[in-house]
């Protein structure tokens, strides 16, 4: 089953939970905690908590092996979320990088995780095999403005798998 199958489960929209990931949400709408019961969904949809323990989660990308990589804005962390038994619930969350400069954007290509910080793009080769001890990154581009007010970067590869769109 691939990610497109999970979105619609062969036409039946039941696994919305993978895309409406509620990672350790803080107070929302004046409520403390997570209140999934307050979210109104169309008939046939359901929502479930996929993972917890990812403060300030923002952008995410799924690797071909099914590891969900999550970037953050304020926390400065990048997480790997693993669903080892394939039950659509995270079994493990690993903080793979700490103390980064707003590592909001994440993308995956050719066994490498790309992370877009405020002023640079880093590539972590072979990341799926080294989650607990990642190799040193390759700096792909470090020519972006360094000022935080230039903000978070989003990153993706185009349809022809060309240079990242930031």
* Topology adopted by domain 53-165: Methylamine Dehydrogenase; Chain H (2.130.10)
Strand ranges across the sheet with 121-125: 105-109, 112-116, 121-125, 138-141
Q: What is the pLDDT of residues 126-153, one digit of tens each?
A: 999 989 988 889 998 887 766 766 666 7
Find tokens 């979320």 and name the residue.
81
Q: Is 28 helix (H, G, I), strand (E, B) or coil?
A: strand
Tokens of 145: 């403005």
Question: Domain segments of the chain: what residues?
Answer: 1-50, 53-165
Q: Is 113 helix (H, G, I), strand (E, B) or coil?
A: strand
**Ordered per-residue pLDDT tens for the chain, 166 residues:** 344 334 433 344 433 333 334 444 444 443 457 788 888 899 999 888 888 888 888 899 999 999 999 999 888 999 999 999 988 889 999 999 998 888 888 999 999 999 998 888 899 999 999 899 888 899 988 877 667 666 667 787 777 765 555 5
Global pTM value: 0.74
């Amino acid at each position: 089953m691939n990610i497109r199958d999970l979105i619609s489960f062969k036409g039946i929209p039941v696994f919305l939970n993978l895309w409406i990931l509620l990672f350790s949400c803080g107070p929302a709408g004046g409520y403390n905690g997570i209140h999934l019961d307050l979210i109104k969904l169309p008939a046939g949809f359901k929502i479930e908590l996929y993972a917890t323990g990812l403060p300030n989660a923002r952008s995410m990308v799924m690797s071909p092996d099914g590891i969900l990589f999550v970037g953050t804005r304020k926390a400065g962390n990048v997480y790997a979320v693993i669903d080892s038994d394939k039950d659509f619930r995270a079994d493990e969350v690993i903080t793979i990088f700490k103390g980064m400069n707003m590592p909001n954007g994440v993308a995956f290509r050719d066994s490498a995780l790309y992370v877009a910080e405020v002023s640079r793009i880093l590539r972590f080769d072979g990341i799926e095999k080294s989650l607990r001890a990642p190799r040193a990154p390759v700096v792909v581009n470090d020519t972006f403005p360094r000022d935080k007010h230039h903000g978070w970067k989003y990153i993706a590869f185009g349809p022809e798998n060309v240079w990242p769109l930031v």
